[in-house]
Copies of this chain bind each other. A is one copy, B any other.
């Protein structure tokens, strides 16, 4: 059975040494986020993930969720107890403001904790994950009354949350939504319609489930500009906060799916269910987008998390499994064969995953810090810059880290040979669980379109211009430093390619919009390579400084950082040129065939 070890030291290296979290001390909540508090939280969260959640990962896959005739759903053995521990531990509210019962710590802490939970058990982590998204939407868009009604119990983990967007005939194109909302005399609405693919949609973990639902009010315009967001609790909530009667929302079925069996993916039938408006009428998409940015960053973290746990297990196997002899000379003469970690092609896979994971973790935490600035800073310019960063990087993180999540789990599985295909080793579950991440919260092709079609040009290209300037300044600043050359020289090249690709879109996509769509996925990955490469340059710089100034017991880890960063530059980054070349061929050939020719 797979094991999991929380990457505690790597998170500390990033937050303390690379990103200097202490510099954010002026933001609310960060004063309480000393490196001691960080260490204590990481240790506790790591223990919970390793000891409670990881052992339930296979159980969840084997048992799955069970729906009963009354529409109730039972989660796998052990999930309920584990969820109680999660709620009792106060994990749901780590970053929720104190006035709703949270600890008010940086959102970055929740992001970092979620990597650990996801690494141990993706299906489980989705129950709190969706709840945190719902909390964020209510915090930003809910009225005071609604916040008071729902947030304390959700923050305490007594109630969980969901997002309801997809319908049978529409996923990406939400404008086609048919769910209706009819206004009642008391200001509430009656919601009717069918929502599908609702993660954590029905279960036995919590007393109540708070659904956030997109629906169309009577007379609202067609398309996405006629959608309103509603809060629809499974059980109605009395004025005193106690639970009232059952609301008109029932789980019609749960899906039989490729993976994440431990999470219930529900079809929810709304039949005149009582709901209350969140935010403004017909502006549901905007409210949903707040939630989606958090959720998309959350899915990116899942991609990293599953890649990390798959990597760890592949490393263990590669050190244990004896097969063949090293071509550079026998390494374990006392054994019948060498451990397979001596073979270059096995190294290739391990180094590739390692190089991607460590840079991905950096990119996640860097962006999470920006999110904290965007939410908490009192400096408007800083808020705006951080918000620009979030908008630009969120689709890149979601698309790239989850595409990598699949390829990395597949590589990790490959290291097991035939044993990787057998269920008991657990590697094939990682692949199946990873697969959904490329799809939900907006399929990765949609992330790429969001990046190219919306984020690049927004505010006259302010976000991308700032990103280019930052990376370009960094490259220039360190280009004369011999030790940094192996990192910043390739990064500079890839940045230039990304700039050329951006220019190409500016020159060719206006006159022919298909040229943007045709290059969008390649652009997203090219962007990802540059962003990850930038993380490696910074990590290498920090490692060099630490090695110079006394690494305090982390010498070997810092040396490994330098090697792994070089590997990224030599072996992962070169993909950038192919992306640019593909982008520059445009849409002509791609779109030339009539549909019948396929």
In the bound complex, residues from chain B placing their C-beta under 8 Å from that of A318 are 598
In the bound complex, residues from chain B placing their C-beta under 8 Å from that of A327 are 453, 513-514, 516-517
18 A/B residue pairs, CB under 8 Å, sorted by A: A173-B323, A318-B598, A327-B516, A345-B448, A348-B521, A351-B590, A420-B439, A428-B432, A428-B435, A564-B593, A570-B589, A571-B585, A571-B589, A571-B590, A574-B578, A574-B582, A577-B577, A577-B578
A172's partner among B197, B323, B438, B448 (CB-CB below 8 A) is B323
Report whether B598 and A315 are in contact in the complex, using a CB–CB cutoff of 8 Å: yes
A436's partner among B259, B421, B521 (CB-CB below 8 A) is B421
Report whether A590 and B448 are in contact in the complex, using a CB–CB cutoff of 8 Å: no
Question: When chains A and B are docked, how far (Å) is the Cα of A229 from the Cα of B593?
Answer: 52
Interface string of A330-344 (1 = CB under 8 A from B): 000000110101011
Interface string of A342-357 (1 = CB under 8 A from B): 0111111111001000
In the bound complex, residues from chain B placing their C-beta under 8 Å from that of A323 are 170-173, 176
**Contacting residues of chain A (574-589) with chain B, CB-CB under 8 angstroms:** 574-575, 577-578, 581-582, 585, 587, 589
In the bound complex, residues from chain B placing their C-beta under 8 Å from that of A440 are 418
In the bound complex, residues from chain B placing their C-beta under 8 Å from that of A587 are 344
Report whether B577 and A176 are in contact in the complex, using a CB–CB cutoff of 8 Å: no
Q: Given contacts A350-B598, A513-B327, are A581 and B590 in contact (CB under 8 A)? A: no
**Contacting residues of chain A (153-184) with chain B, CB-CB under 8 angstroms:** 166, 169-173, 176
Additional A-B contact list (11), CB under 8 Å, known A176-B337, A559-B597: A173-B323, A257-B421, A315-B598, A341-B595, A344-B587, A345-B445, A345-B517, A557-B597, A564-B593, A570-B589, A571-B585
Question: When chains A and B are docked, how far (Å) is the Cα of A424 from the Cα of B265?
Answer: 14
Report whether B577 and A589 are in contact in the complex, using a CB–CB cutoff of 8 Å: no
Chain A interface residue count, Cβ-Cβ cutoff 8 angstroms: 96
Looking at A324, A344, A414, A577, the one whose CB has the most chain B CB atoms below 10 A away is A344
Interface string of A312-327 (1 = CB under 8 A from B): 0001001100111001
In the bound complex, residues from chain B placing their C-beta under 8 Å from that of A428 are 257-258, 432, 435
Report whether B171 and A418 are in contact in the complex, using a CB–CB cutoff of 8 Å: yes
Report whether B341 and A598 are in contact in the complex, using a CB–CB cutoff of 8 Å: yes
Question: When chains A and B are docked, how far (Å) is the Cα of A576 from the Cα of B308?
Answer: 29
A90 to chain B, nearest CB (A): 33
Q: Given contacts A327-B513, A431-B435, A577-B577, are A423 and B258 in contact (CB under 8 A)? A: yes
**A480 within 8 Å of B by Cβ?**
no
Question: When chains A and B are docked, how far (Å) is the Cα of A444 from the Cα of B328?
Answer: 21
A315 to chain B, nearest CB (A): 4
**Contacting residues of chain A (401-444) with chain B, CB-CB under 8 angstroms:** 406, 410, 413-414, 417-418, 420-424, 428, 431-432, 435-436, 438-440, 443-444
Looking at A166, A339, A345, the one whose CB has the most chain B CB atoms below 10 A away is A345
